[in-house]
Every structure is written in structure tokens, then in C-alpha cells.
């Protein structure tokens, strides 16, 4: 059984070319339907077309659906994948590099390491008396 590869092949080139031509043809038909007046289309013999309302309504509905997914559903799906705050998986795992296990050079930039969750929460959310 041959292994699937993303490399270009003649059949992929043919399918891509047909998709390219087909998409431009459909887009051209859409533009003609949307912008040419109905009486011109009727005089050519094209009488059965949807209302012009749909030329604007369908793209708007698609964009609103895409925006809803991008700004509401996608973040909600990501939030459902996050473990709860009392789960040990968010505190440490086998790839954790602790700050105390990394040597800090004199007056140097500290190495990349994981900070404990309580320290992060303390620095982010607890304000000192002077602020």
C-alpha cells in the first residue's frame, strides 16, 4: 500500500486545476446574477433565478455564522478542554522545569522555566497595600 504524501502529483494537479476553473465559473455566474438587472437576464432567456435578496443574504449569513463560531463557539470549546483549577495536570507534568532547578547567572537573564501556579496568581491578582 503506497504511503500518502503531500507532494504534488499529476492527479492532484488536475483536480486543483478543475477546482480552480470551477470556482471562478461559479463566482462569475454569481456576480452576473447579483449585478445584472432581471430584465436583461429575462431578455437573454434566463428566467428562473432566485431573488436578488439572496445574493446579499447568503454571504451575510455565512459571515455571521463564521464570526459566531470564531468568537463564541471556538473559545467555548477550548474552555471545555482545560482541566479544572484543582486538577494536578495544570500544576506540573513530566515536562516541568522548576525555577529552583535552573542556575541563574550573575546579573543574567533567567532561563525559561515553569512558575508555580500560586506564585502566578499571587503576582497577577493580589495587590500590595501601596497600590
Is residue 98 assigned to a domain?
yes
Helix then strand then coil, % of the chain, to nearest 5 = 60, 0, 40
Is residue 79 assigned to a domain?
no
Is residue 58 assigned to a domain?
no
What is the pTM (predicted TM-score) of this model? 0.55
Rg (CA), the chain: 29
**What are the Cα distances from residue 49, in Å, to 22, 53, 122?**
20, 11, 64
pLDDT cut 90: percent of the chain above it: 45
CB 33 within 8 A of CB 55: yes
User: Mutual orientation of helices 10-35 and 53-68 as an angle, nearest 10°?
Assistant: 130
Q: Look up the domain containing 119 and give its range.
A: 93-130
Is residue 120 assigned to a domain?
yes
Is residue 65 assigned to a domain?
no
Is residue 42 assigned to a domain?
yes
CB 91 within 8 A of CB 75: no
Q: How many domains does the chain have?
A: 2
pLDDT beyond 90 at 112: no
pLDDT tens profile 9-61:
888 899 999 999 999 999 999 999 999 999 999 999 988 889 999 999 999 99
Is residue 63 assigned to a domain?
no
> What is the b/e burial string over 79-108, where b = at least 16 CB atoms within 10 angstroms of the residue's CB?
eeeeeeeeeeeeeeeeeeeeeeeeeeeeee
Is residue 69 assigned to a domain?
no
Amino acid at each position: 500500500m503506497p504511503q500518502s504524501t503531500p507532494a504534488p502529483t499529476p492527479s492532484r494537479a488536475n483536480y486543483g486545476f478543475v477546482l480552480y476553473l470551477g470556482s471562478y465559473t461559479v463566482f462569475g455566474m454569481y456576480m452576473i446574477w447579483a449585478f445584472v438587472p432581471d430584465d436583461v437576464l429575462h431578455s437573454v432567456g434566463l428566467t428562473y433565478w432566485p431573488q436578488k435578496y439572496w445574493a446579499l443574504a447568503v454571504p451575510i449569513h455565512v459571515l455571521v455564522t463564521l464570526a459566531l463560531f470564531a468568537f463564541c463557539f471556538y473559545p467555548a470549546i477550548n474552555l471545555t478542554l482545560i482541566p479544572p483549577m484543582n486538577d494536578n495536570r495544570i500544576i506540573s507534568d513530566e515536562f516541568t522545569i522548576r525555577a529552583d532547578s535552573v542556575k541563574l547567572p550573575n546579573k543574567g537573564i533567567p532561563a525559561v522555566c515553569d512558575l508555580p501556579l500560586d506564585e502566578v496568581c499571587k503576582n497577577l491578582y493580589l495587590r500590595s497595600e501601596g497600590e
